[in-house]
């Protein structure tokens, strides 16, 4: 059955055509009331939104089949990302489609603020000619301080350098090399506040950035500085900003975003030195088309191929990587599932999970592979766990996750080894790919075992003694259970041995009990993949 996508906000018709052209069933129903959205969302695999639809926890709970939420825009304030992650739903945004538009709006706001254009326009239209009232300032040679220098901030920097401004930037993720390429000086926030004539905000709203321009920081700005915010309203203490403007500490502010939106009433609206627009940063025809096309392509890629682009809550997998990574992700999942099922059978609390990569596997994008392995381990223990929520679930449960790459050459061209450490034991399983894309188990607890995975298997550890295989086979034969594959391994003659049997169907409990009663059996655990 083809995946189904609901578009619940106004998107370009071209986005609808992208879904249809790629074989995805799509319904366009903008403006749904929350109750109606909850009533129908259970039928869909994907949900495409802009900013009007609120994707709440209640919406997530009503959507058992939902796999992806695509936000046509940068901010995901209207999506409960935490609930989505816990339910294993990928949340994507489109950080590039409106970057130029938003950057241009910030530059336009800076010009408007520097030359008092809105006030001058209103005065002139009112029949006044107050030429001497509106004395502006040049941007030439002024210092622009960027708080955030990512996709949008870097475009603003480029435009400002073209205006012959001096650009300084505070961004913990900005490298010295990138700063040099952009022609900006990387500084700490305190220095930026002291030096900047204009400050433009281009940071996401997180717990770390909320109120980054607090009352203290607003009054640390040099006297006469001007503020532009086209990012997120919560970055600025609006009450403190009002005081700083009213007292003349700041010369002006240009705001496209507000802490509460729609912003229909604010003390800031009473000040002449404040320029306001109603969140127009991405409001151009080009940007609306770009983000709609981008979100449709991203969602279609994920639903059809597993490619993940611009996800908020899971590692990215490009469309080019997805086919190559798919067999490795399946191997990681199977190894994790085996370790998880064996751990669940022994009631051990997991303390740590280690994933090691050798050979070709070490050259890949490993974050999705590790996420797949974690999902495999935790699924048998906790139920609804997938690549999206597995890293979060592991962190919440205090499970230490380690990822290691080995450059050493070994017996296999590629090898994944997964080790689970519990409060009772440490168990490792390792696997490789044969014929390019077929997962194969090659080692369990240090014992070499060459075995293909089957939908139903029985894992038996026993003491290596003559006669065991005959007794074991007799029990299965008398129960009418057909053996599809049979794999053996042992640590040493007469030592610990492993028997891994592929079956045509699930192992009946009564037969499993007989196997467990065999004198040499240490453990017998049915596995399902």
Site of tokens 């223990």: 381
Dihedrals phi, psi of 503, to nearest 5 degrees: -115, 160
d(CA 90, CA 219): 41
d(CA 441, CA 416): 10
Tokens found for residue 92: 């994507």
d(CA 517, CA 523): 10
Q: Which residues are catalytic?
A: 232, 261, 279
Sign, CA torsion 97/103/109/112: negative
Q: Helix or strand or coil: residue 496? A: strand
Contact 266, 238 (CB under 8 A): yes
Q: Of 406, 456, 412, nearest to 434 (Cα)?
A: 412
d(CA 284, CA 261): 20
* DSSP line for 318-334: -TTHHHHHHHHHHHHHH
Residue 258 burial (C-beta neighbours within 10 Å; 0-12, 13-18, 19+): buried
Give the pairing of strands 225-229 and 198-201. parallel
Contact 303, 21 (CB under 8 A): no
Q: Of 206, 195, 93, nearest to 151 (Cα)?
A: 93
Residue 365 burial (C-beta neighbours within 10 Å; 0-12, 13-18, 19+): middle
Question: How many contiguous H segments (helices) and E segments (strands) does the chain have?
Answer: 17, 22
d(CA 471, CA 216): 79
Tokens found for residue 71: 């936000």
Kindly compute the dihedral angle of the four CA atoms of residues 346, 351, 357, 363, in this order, to the nearest 10 degrees: 140
Q: Please list, in sequence order, all residues whose beta carbon lies within 8 angstroms of the beta carbon of residue 238, skipping any fewer than 6 positions away.
A: 258, 259, 266, 268
d(CA 136, CA 125): 19
Dihedrals phi, psi of 267, to nearest 5 degrees: -55, -25
Dihedrals phi, psi of 119, to nearest 5 degrees: -65, -40
Kindly compute the dihedral angle of the four CA atoms of residues 313, 319, 321, 324, in this order, to the nearest 10 degrees: 120
Sign, CA torsion 257/258/259/264: negative
């Amino acid at each position: 059955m083809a995946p189904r996508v609901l578009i619940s906000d106004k998107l370009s018709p071209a986005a609808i055509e992208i879904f249809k052209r790629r074989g995805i069933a799509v319904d366009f129903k903008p403006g749904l009331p929350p109750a109606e959205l909850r009533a129908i969302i259970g039928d869909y695999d994907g949900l495409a939104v802009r900013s009007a639809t609120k994707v709440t926890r209640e919406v997530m709970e009503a959507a058992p089949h939902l796999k992806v939420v695509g936000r046509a825009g940068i901010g995901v304030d209207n999506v409960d990302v935490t609930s989505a992650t816990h339910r294993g739903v990928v949340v994507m945004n489109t950080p590039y489609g409106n970057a130029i538009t938003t950057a241009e709006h910030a530059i336009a706001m800076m010009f408007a603020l520097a030359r008092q254009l809105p006030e001058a326009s209103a005065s002139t239209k009112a029949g006044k000619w107050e030429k001497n009232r509106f004395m502006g300032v040049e941007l030439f040679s002024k210092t622009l301080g960027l708080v955030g220098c990512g996709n949008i901030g870097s475009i603003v920097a480029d435009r400002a350098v073209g205006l012959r401004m001096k650009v300084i930037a505070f961004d913990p993720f900005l490298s010295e090399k990138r700063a040099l390429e952009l022609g900006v000086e990387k500084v700490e926030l305190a220095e930026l506040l002291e030096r900047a004539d204009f400050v433009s905000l281009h940071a996401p709203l997180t717990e770390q950035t909320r109120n980054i321009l607090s009352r203290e920081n607003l009054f640390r700005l040099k006297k006469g500085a001007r503020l532009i915010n086209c990012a997120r309203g919560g970055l600025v203490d609006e009450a403190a900003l009002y005081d700083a403007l009213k007292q003349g500490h700041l010369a002006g502010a240009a705001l496209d975003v507000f802490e509460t939106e729609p912003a229909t009433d604010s003390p800031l609206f009473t000040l002449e030195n404040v320029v306001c627009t109603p969140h127009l940063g991405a409001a151009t025809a080009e940007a609306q088309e770009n983000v709609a096309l981008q979100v449709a392509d991203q969602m279609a890629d994920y639903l059809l191929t597993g490619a993940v682009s611009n996800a908020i809550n899971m590692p990215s997998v490009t469309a080019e990587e997805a086919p190559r990574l798919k067999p490795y992700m399946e191997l990681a999942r199977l190894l994790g599932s085996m370790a998880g099922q064996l751990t669940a059978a022994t009631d051990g609390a997991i303390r740590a999970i280690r994933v090691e990569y050798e050979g070709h596997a070490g050259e890949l994008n490993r974050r999705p592979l590790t996420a797949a392995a974690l999902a495999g381990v935790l699924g048998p223990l906790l139920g609804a766990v997938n690549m999206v929520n597995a890293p979060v679930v592991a962190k919440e449960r205090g499970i230490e996750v380690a990822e290691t790459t080995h450059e050493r050459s070994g017996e296999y061209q590629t090898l994944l080894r997964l080790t689970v450490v519990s409060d009772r034991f440490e168990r490792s399983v390792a696997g490789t790919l044969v014929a390019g894309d077929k997962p194969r188990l090659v080692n369990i607890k240090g014992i070499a075992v060459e075995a293909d995975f089957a939908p139903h298997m029985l894992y038996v550890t026993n003491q290596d003694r003559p006669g065991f295989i005959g007794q074991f086979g007799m029990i299965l034969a008398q129960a009418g259970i057909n053996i599809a594959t049979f794999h053996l391994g042992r640590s040493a003659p007469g030592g610990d041995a492993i028997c891994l049997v592929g079956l045509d169907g699930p192992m009946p409990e009564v037969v499993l009990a007989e196997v467990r009663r065999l004198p040499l059996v240490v453990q017998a655990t049915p596995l399902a993949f």
